[in-house]
Structure 1
Amino acid sequence: MSLFDTHIAVDWSGGNDRGTKPKADAIWVCVAGEEPVYLRNRQVAEDWLAARLAAEVGNRVCVGFDFPFGYPSGFAKHLTGVEDALGGLWEWLEARVQDAPNANNRFDLAGAINAGLDGVGPFWGNGRPNHDVDHLPRKGLARTNAQFAEKRAVEHLAKGSFSCWQLSGAGSVGSQVIMGLPVLARLRRKFGAKVWPFEALDSGVAFVEIWPSLLAKSFPGDAIKDAGQVRAVANAMAVMDANGTLGQALAAGEGSGAEGWILGVGAEQILEDAMRPQELPRPPKMRDDCFALPAGVDWTPVDEALARLEAAVSRVVGVEQVAHMQAVGRVVAEPVVARRSNPPAPNSAVDGYGFAHDATGEGDQVLPLLAGRAAAGAAYEDAVPRGAALRILTGAVLPEGVDTVVLEEDCSVTDTHVAFRGPVRPRANTRKAGEDVVAGGQVFDSGHVLRAQDAALLAALGVDSVPVFERLRVGVLSTGDELVEPAQDAPPDRTYDANRPMLLQMATAWGFEAVDLGHVGDDRAALKALLDEGAARCDVILTSGGASAGDEDHVSALLREQGNLQAWRIALKPGRPLALALWQGVPVFGLPGNPVAAFVCALVFARPACLKLAGAAFAEPQAFMVPAAFEKRKKPGRREYLRARMGPDGVEVFASEGSGRISGLSWSDGLVELPDGAAEIGRGDPVRYLPYGSFGL
């Protein structure tokens, strides 16, 4: 069982405000599974941490800070009279450190501490270039004080670590200690946090000391190093906790006294293992015979083909966590629940005046008006006495004593009183806590494809990390000697490759990762090499052309020889041939070569299959019955899809049904689907219309 539910890593800074643009040598924080957050100064960071810890009430949270929690043995007792880091050293510093975004007294305080000791030091490193500080040498070699060790015991084991006496210069951590411990003292007191290794971690919040550079070689190469480090350390703590080794790493720090310990020292291999990229289990490969049709099946109706396809395919992607800001288009992997209610507290729906309803009645109401107001983000802290009123703005949390709000337009107001006509409906113009969603309630189920509006709901509910399936990697390959790239000059017997850019863009629009596998001519060996590459890079492959049984149909021939080809003859127009196979366990959809047929088959068959491979539902497009603005006589035997668009008198169809007329795809905004049997369509008759939007385009 995990020790903690949430793991947070913080890269601290002892310097002044770093501005709004994210940069190195500032404060960075990361929650495991989320993206790093830039915090411009310690005041912003303390507020952020307090808000996050408050939001985590009910969860067990481990927060790692990258500065020493104590000094070498004897220093705490010298300052405070007791060898106690928490009740002594931390509170001593909290009482004396002065800190503002652009100024602090860390150098003066270190000089004052030095002044009370024999000789020069132990603090050194004046970071003010044009201002000397009494008793604080600029160079470490100028020190003569030898009362305390240069490093803590743990730092002798952590190769490359710096002394906490150094306040400025490359690698220094001394300023972080002086400016960081007062913040930890306040957060510890506010949230009842327990501090490792000084206390048993038996409360909801635990503080631990980390040093990201302990395993610097294991970090990813982020543009901002500090951001990459906090992400890596937070995730490593979560991995250790999940696999049961975090407790072993914590045990290595026992017995360190008031000096403190760095998480991972004495347990380097555990931390190293946790830093390695974690291979999540992946679903099994599909069966080799998954596309096989029963004996005797020849022509397959569209509905039967879709049913067989849905039964044949299954999810092939793994699971990962993404921030809600990057979740649009992704498929939810596990049920998502609200971290808090929306709204989180009763609040006002209007600008007006709030009061207790039971203090009012019918007729003219005149209530004394309290000084102050309640506003969104600026709560009124006191209770409102019964029979009094308070100015309240839209979104403001209802103070104690307020359950009803009257619109300001319905009021007459003086400096001391507010008047309005009663009766007022109880709880008028207010919102209940959780009237939208209650904390702990399920928001999305597995398989839901997240949209922009879902990102808003996730943010409102405090869900900043979502378990989603990895993006399906869809490879697209064009085949045939007749194809050339559009940038080339081509003789009349050559055709520009229209299918590949179309299919790549369709895959992207569907939220998948489109992988361009290029074009291959009628060369069996080259085709095999590209299919091998595609199987290594992709989860599914779409090919176009070469899927029939002609002399140059190398796709079907090669797949039949080495890929367990199943040639489905679908009773539809345009389309008909659909080659399905597995190549090294990766499903391959062999689409027709004609662009219109490839487009229709991709919409009708490839899209729902790819959605299921990606962890979503096998989707049926939404259709609408609309009047026909055309006439058509259809023979029985095949389902037909006509390029269509809505006009003033109903749905119109493209003048030609030829599969090579690509302009009809651009002209149209959807398809008209005609049934399998015979049909005679007259103007005004209802027909089934499928807009491209219902196919995700």
Structure 2
Amino acid sequence: MTFEAVVIVDWSGGNDRGAKPTKDAIWACVARDGSLAEPVYFRNRQVFEPWFHDLIAEEISAGRRVFAGFDFPFGYPQGFAKAVTGENDPFALWRWLEGRIVDAPATNNRFEVASELNALCEGAGPFWGNATKSDWPDLPRKGLARAGHGWPEKRQAEQLAKGAFTVWQLAGAGSVGSQTLMGLPVLERVRRAFGRHVSVWPLEPTEREVVLVEVWPSLLADHIAATLPEGEIKDRHQVRVLAQAISQLPEAAMSQMMAVPRTEEGWIFGLGHEETLKEAASLRPPPLRNDCFAMPQGAYWTPEAEALAHLRTHLAGVKAIERRAVADCAGLFLAEDVTAERSHPPTPNSAVDGYAVKGPIPEGAHVLPLVDGRAAAGDPFEGVVPEGHALRILTGAAVPEGVDTVILQEDVNSDRTQIAFHGPLKAGSNARKVGEDMTAGEVIFAKGRKLTPADLGTLTAAGVAEVAVFERLRVGVLSTGDELRNADESASDADIYDANRPMLLANSRSWGFEPVDLGRATDDREVLRGILDKASETCDAILTSGGASGGDEDHVSALLKDTGSFALWRIAIKPGRPLALGLWNEVPVFGLPGNPVAAQVCSLVFAHPALTVLAGGAWSEPAAFPLPANFSKSKKDGRVEYLRARVQEGRVHIFPSEGSGRISGLSWSTGLVRLPQEAATINEGDLVEFLPYATFQ
């Protein structure tokens, strides 16, 4: 059994929760064809219901099968439906409730209906809990006030689900009863609206396009708590987690979880299969191959071009796909091509303030009568401009029928009844054509593109509200070495302040990734092992600096060797040379040199394009500009050399020292000069390749 779309709804039985997203409201999250959308907040049921109907109609029209999970019980203990309706049919009770529940944003009658249900039963109860000031004669305020009603406290499913609340409770923490009373009428209207397209699990066969399913996020309570970001609304987070887990279930596991006996009490999806759900919730994209960093045997010095080509060939994206509102996508990478929803502009419009006429206008003096009214942006002229007439029009206004040309305001004299101007004027002058910028259906951005602030504006102008993107890559940054100190610590002359970590963290942030500060590790392999173990649980890639050369104190290299995925690349570049690469618990580790300049050059040249691919982007190469040198230099054959440089008055100047420890040269420079691997003599005025730092984005 498979579903192409999964929607999970965290329900609420209360009143309107306000415009600002908050807890204890309605939250929904949709996973569709492998893409996880951002959760949606609903302040009340009246807002949710039309949204859900539209969603179901859209999915049915698109041919996608839908798993629609709601976190409230779909039934009551065995026999309750017959006691209320006289029918052994759980849907008879759904219809009964739908006919009696009155619901508005600020009020509803659930306590009154519960009192009516209690009156149909013997004794006091089974429903209890009254959050209003009004007293209902048959509705006890406390559960202990009930007696003799004869109904089990919990359904069979709740007896097995640790921590589940009873369907009879209407108020207080865990008031599942209120959610059920207010939820079943909504689902009954879904059944009525979509008829043969909808079925309810496990109350009836589930071969239809849309299956309504009872879910309970607390089956994943430990995982939800462990992954809850600081400051996040729990309801929002748990619909995302459950939608992702269910959407990633293997077909066999899905079929097994759906295979439960048909019962009027209903059942909780996944009950008894918690570990399988947890595995699906934790599922990550396929890991990189263990040998993804292995270079051909026998190569001692690896040419820069060969190293880059190897990374480009062997790396792939590691992040899941989600759908996000366009406004939230800056710095993320598109997971699919995006097409314009409508043309831009959607209608011909004026590029200037002026007067709209029918063109072309011949040479000479002209006087035209003005039509009453005007056209403004957002306030179009509704009529047709008669031939030989003019209409006042403002910038951005739709050009109305009957005219196609705009005369610039400064070129016109007007007495408010007519205008006078000189020709000639070409037809279409000062008027923008339909779709001259973008055409509806046109691919405007390709998969793998990193979205810029300007891109967000372009997408919005094209009517695109949300896009499929890869989740943001989390990049851990770790410094290693006993000699390192933080800037706020005292340091002896033998100590070094850790300059690499803030620099590499800032790199990651500027590249659109989420930086994770892993601190610094002493020269103790077990300490380093513990840091890497913890980092691999939360990071998608790890950058380390120091410990990459393979010497006695190079513990990063030593630990990566133990994994069997280690590769020490002696790359023929200056500065740089050693670059330790490997996988730690399937997470790629880039071991950068410890010298700050070498660490920065290697992070720009190697880590940046590699991390971009891991994040779902296309392989990126910096733009190189040929500019005249303001320096002279001779270099030997064998290594590519990078020099810190900046452009002044059109010529490239280089930092006076090439030492890898002179970090101030990175601040002085605005980019790098790349000198080729071959021997070369550069004289002043010769063209050299200048790579601005801004192109490493």
Work out whether the TM-score is over 0.5. Answer: yes
Whole-Å separation in 2 of the counterparts to 1:546 and 1:14: 58
Match of 2:479 in 1: 477
Q: Distance in 2 between matches of 1:155 and 1:590?
A: 51
Go from structure 1 to structure 2 and tell me whether the alpha carbon gap of 1:60 and 1:626 turns closer, same or farther (over 3 Å shift): same
Corresponding residue number in structure 1 for 2:244: 235
1:330-369 to 2 correspondence within 5 Å?
330=332, 336=336, 342-343=341-342
Deviation at 1:145, TM superposition (A): 7.8
Q: Does 1:186 align with 2:201?
A: no
Q: Secondary structure at the match of 2:320?
A: strand
**Residue 181 of structure 1, CA deviation:** 2.6
Q: Cα 1:51–1:386, aligned 2, differ >3 Å: closer, same or farther?
A: farther
2:277 matched residue in structure 1: 274
Asked if the contact 2:628/2:684 (under 8 Å) is kept, the reply is: no
How far does the alpha carbon of each residue in 1:559-603 deviate from its partner, in whole angstroms, 9 at most, with x for none?
999897756362x55x26335465879877665554334433432
Q: Give yes or no for contact 1:63–1:208 (8 Å, CA) kept in 2.
A: yes
- The 3 A distance-change label for structure 1 pair 527 and 186 is closer
Equivalent residues in 2 for 1:296-307 (5 A)? 304-307=303-306
- Correspondence list, 1:398-417, <5 A: none
**Aligned twin of 2:528:** 530
Partner of 2:355: none
**Residue matched to 1:543:** 545
Question: For residues 145-156 of structure 1, what are the structure 2 equivalents within 5 Å?
Answer: 146=149
2-structure distance, mates of 1:626, 1:49: 59
Structure 1 equivalent of residue 693 of structure 2: 692
2: CA distance, partners of 1:250 / 1:405: 63
Counterpart CA distance in 1 for 2:162 and 2:485 is 59
Instruction: Give the deviation of 1:205 after TM superposition.
Output: 2.5
Instruction: Give the structure 2 partner of residue 416 of structure 1.
Output: none
Matches within 5 A, 1:31-430: 31-32=30-31, 33-56=36-59, 57-58=61-62, 59-71=64-76, 84-86=89-91, 88-112=92-116, 123-129=127-133, 131-139=134-142, 146=149, 161-192=164-195, 193-197=197-201, 198-213=203-218, 219-220=224-225, 222=228, 224-240=233-249, 242-254=250-262, 256=263, 259-264=264-269, 268-276=271-279, 277-280=281-284, 281-286=286-291, 290=295, 292-294=297-299, 304-311=303-310, 314-315=314-315, 318-324=318-324, 328-330=330-332, 336=336, 342-343=341-342
Give the structure 2 partner of residue 502 of structure 1: 503
**Aligned partner of 2:578: which letter?**
L
Alignment CA distance shift 1:465-1:84 (3 Å): farther
Residues 311-333 of structure 1: per-residue CA shift (max 9 Å, x gap): 2672277442345367654556x
Whole-angstrom CA distance in 1 between matches of 2:168 and 2:529: 61
Distance 1:404 1:498, change over 3 A: farther
Residues 534, 541 of structure 1: 8 Å contact kept: no
Q: Say if 1:568 and 1:68 are closer, same or farther in 2 by CA, change over 3 A.
A: closer
Counterpart of 2:520 in structure 1 is 518
The yes-or-no answer on 1:642 pairing with 2:643 is yes
- Which structure 2 residues correspond to residues 650-661 of structure 1 after superposition, within 5 A? 650-661=651-662
Matching residue of 2:5: 6
Q: Structure 2 vs 1, CA of residues 557 and 611 (structure 1 numbering), >3 Å: closer, same or farther?
A: closer
Secondary structure, counterpart of 1:620 in structure 2: coil
Counterpart position of 1:16: 15
Q: Distance in 2 between matches of 1:160 and 1:496?
A: 51
| Contact kept in structure 1, 2:627 and 2:689, CA below 8 Å | yes
CA contact 1:67–1:176 (8 Å) conserved in 2? yes
* Offset of residue 90 of structure 1: 3.8
TM-score (norm 1): 0.71
- Superposition TM-score, scaled by structure 2 size: 0.71
Distance in 2, Cα, partners of 1:263 & 1:611: 41
Shift in alpha-carbon separation, 1:548–1:284, aligned structure 2, 3 A: closer
Contact 1:476–1:517, Cα closer than 8 Å, also in 2: yes
Task: Describe the superposition over 1:26-84 as per-residue Cα deviations: whole angstroms up to 9, x where unpaired.
Answer: 22223343454332221222243234334434122221222333455666567667555
Q: Deviations along 1:529-579, whole A, 9 cap, x unmatched?
A: 637854874655543478498xx8857996999897756362x55x26335
Note closer, same or farther for the CA distance 1:137–1:279 as it changes in structure 2 (3 Å cut).
Answer: closer
- Aligned to 1:245, the other structure's residue is in SS state helix
Gaps of 5+ in 1: 352-361, 377-383, 411-418
1:623 is aligned to 624
CA displacement at 1:103 relative to structure 2: 1.5
Please tell me whether the aligned partners of residues 671 and 691 of structure 1 are also in contact (alpha carbons under 8 angstroms): yes
Q: CA deviation at 1:173?
A: 2.9
Aligned to 1:668: 669
Contact 1:194 1:200 in 2 (8 A): no
Contact 2:344 2:439 in 1 (8 A): no
> In 2, Cα distance between the equivalents of 1:590 and 1:278?
27
The C-alpha deviation readout for 1:279-298, integer Å capped at 9, x for no partner, is: 4442221268526454xx76
What's the C-alpha RMSD, in Å, of the aligned pairs? Answer: 5.4
Distance 1:385 1:118, change over 3 A: farther
Cα gap change, 1:669/1:554 in structure 2, threshold over 3 Å: closer, same or farther? same
Q: Check 1:555–1:162 CA distance in 2 against 1; reply closer, same or farther (3 A cut).
A: closer
How far does the alpha carbon of each residue in 1:434-490 deviate from its partner, in whole angstroms, 9 at most, with x for none? 965639x79543x5445455667788546555455x8364554344x7655433444
Distance in 2 of aligned mates of 1:651 and 1:484: 35
Could you say what secondary structure the match of 1:187 adopts? helix
Runs of at least 5 residues in structure 2 that lack an aligned partner in the other structure: 351-360, 362-367, 387-393, 409-417, 420-425
Give CA deviations for 1:587-641 in whole Å, capped at 9, x if unaligned: 776655543344334323443455456665553211123455x242435536543
